[in-house]
Amino acid sequence: MSRAPGGEFGMMSLQRKYFRALEDYCKTLQITFEEGLEVLRRKIEQNQDALTTGEWAVLRSVIRNPIPYYLCPLDDYSEKYLCAALKALPSAEEAKTTRSEFSVKNTQISIENLSIRASYRVPETRSTKIIMDAFGLKGDTVYADIVQNVSVKASNGNIIFVVGTSGSGKSVFLNALDPDKTIDGNLMVKRTGGLKHSAGWLRPLRNDVPIFEVLAEKFTPEKAFVSLSRVGLSEALAFIKPFWMLSRGQQYRAMIADLLLRDEEVWLLDEFCSDLDPITAKIVAHNLRKQIIATGRIAFIAAANHTHYLDALRPTKVLMLRSGDEPAWLSYKEYQNDFLDQVG
């Protein structure tokens, strides 16, 4: 207890704060302090949901909810309740095994000579005629070899990084690795060896509820929390916003958090981290690498702009696609020494 600056006795600073908050509330509603106290008493008796959002914003500093304490011994009702709960819930050992993370068993990708050729029927317009003449192109259909003779071998925990200039075929190549994807009608894909894996892409999340709720409902609140933290999205404000309200970089990370929790064996990630700042990109790349290795997935990751995070991702192999030429396979070290060092 201390003597308050106003001269009153017996009011501690915290109580003074509550007093002021309730006084402001009464002034806003133009009611007496006693009436305000009565309103507050009734609201507390009803429960927290009785408060409107506005009331909650004003009165939350005044209301202290009771903190549940565990008091021994249990009464009859509590004892029966806990015994029933123990029977209904799995034992700690079982819970541990069901909570363990997804892991991929024995996934192999073995494709020989994957080639993708595009045919394009040129519309007869004034400008196309001029361009065809100028470049000596004949016929009404143009053919282009987008991907030429790529042989891919990958197994659990491998990260294949796909690089190449814009238009070199990175996205088309990733699409061809999804057994369920319908390839555009004018693309012809040839390869030896089948694809049996399940492929995971980034997908937008539901828009109607906050992202934490989307993931908590699909998986569990614990898993949602861990996954969002892994992509650096653990601030409260990001948790409570729906997907559409997030920035592009935040949306990208929310989609990765969702992917981390799904069960697909092979991840196909295009334009990897292209919307992220260099530091966040490094964190995401580092955590993604850890997850790929820990769960035994295989990841094909494509990006045109990647120098700032590649050391954190440390891919197993780099596939360099080259427009109009056969691709090159490099180790991460070779790629780093021969190419990255040159671009600084």
Ligand X SMILES: Nc1ncnc2c1ncn2[C@@H]1O[C@H](COP(=O)(O)OP(=O)(O)OP(=O)(O)O)[C@@H](O)[C@H]1O
Q: Which residues bind Mg ion (CB under 5 A)?
A: 170-171
- By beta-carbon proximity to Mg ion, the closer residue of 25 and 267 is 267
Distance between terminal CA atoms of the chain?
A: 66
- By beta-carbon proximity to ligand X, the closer residue of 172 and 216 is 172
Signed CA dihedral, 227, 229, 232, 233: sign only: positive
- By beta-carbon proximity to Mg ion, the closer residue of 148 and 168 is 168
Single residue of 171, 234, 274, 336 touching ligand X by CB under 6 A:
171
State the binding partner of 172 from ligand X, Mg ion, none, CB within 5 to 8 A by kind.
ligand X
Is 141 near ligand X (CB under 6 A)? no
At closest approach, how far in Å is the CB of 199 from Mg ion? 16
At closest approach, how far in Å is the CB of 210 from ligand X? 31
Q: Which of 267, 276, 274 is nearest to 301 (CA)?
A: 267
Beta pairing partners, 300: 160, 268
> What's the CA gap between 227 and 259, in Å, rounded?
9
Is 169 near ligand X (CB under 6 A)? yes
Enumerate residues 6+ apart whose C-beta is below 8 A from 294: 101, 103
State the binding partner of 304 from ligand X, Mg ion, none, CB within 5 to 8 A by kind.
ligand X
- Residue 284 corresponds to which tokens in the numbers above? 């995401």
Single residue of 22, 51, 59, 146 touching ligand X by CB under 6 A:
146
Site for ligand X in 285-344 (CB under 6 A): 304
- By beta-carbon proximity to ligand X, the closer residue of 100 and 166 is 166
Residue whose structure tokens are 């190419």? 339
- By beta-carbon proximity to ligand X, the closer residue of 191 and 230 is 191
Is 167 near ligand X (CB under 6 A)? yes
Provide the b/e sequence for 72-98 (b: ≥16 CB within 10 Å).
eeeeeeeeeeeeeeeeeeeeeeeeeee
State the binding partner of 36 from ligand X, Mg ion, none, CB within 5 to 8 A by kind.
none
- Residue 320 corresponds to which tokens in the numbers above? 């360099």
Of 83-91, 167-175, 201-209, 257-265: span binding ligand X (CB under 6 A): 167-175
At closest approach, how far in Å is the CB of 144 from ligand X? 6
Count residues contacting ligand X (CB under 6 A)?
15
> What's the CA gap between 330 and 29, in Å, rounded?
72
Of 25-33, 48-56, 182-190, 328-336: span binding ligand X (CB under 6 A): 182-190
Q: How many residues does the chain have?
A: 344
**Position 190: which residue type?**
K
Report the residue number whose CB is nearest to Mg ion.
Answer: 171
Q: Are 146 and 294 in contact (CB under 8 A)?
A: no
Q: Which helix (H) or strand (E) holds 95?
A: helix 92-99
> What's the CA gap between 344 and 330, in Å, rounded?
19
- By beta-carbon proximity to ligand X, the closer residue of 155 and 274 is 274
> What's the CA gap between 252 and 204, in Å, rounded?
8
Of 80-88, 90-98, 179-187, 258-266: span binding ligand X (CB under 6 A): 179-187
Single residue of 76, 184, 208, 341 touching ligand X by CB under 6 A:
184
- E strand segments, the chain: 108-121, 141-155, 159-163, 187-192, 199-200, 266-269, 298-302, 317-320, 328-330
Of 12-20, 89-97, 169-177, 244-252: span binding ligand X (CB under 6 A): 169-177
- By beta-carbon proximity to ligand X, the closer residue of 282 and 306 is 306
Site for ligand X in 85-124 (CB under 6 A): 118, 120
At closest approach, how far in Å is the CB of 168 from Mg ion? 9
Q: Are 169 and 116 in contact (CB under 8 A)?
A: yes
Residues in touch with ligand X (CB under 6 A): 118, 120, 146, 164, 166-172, 184, 186-187, 304
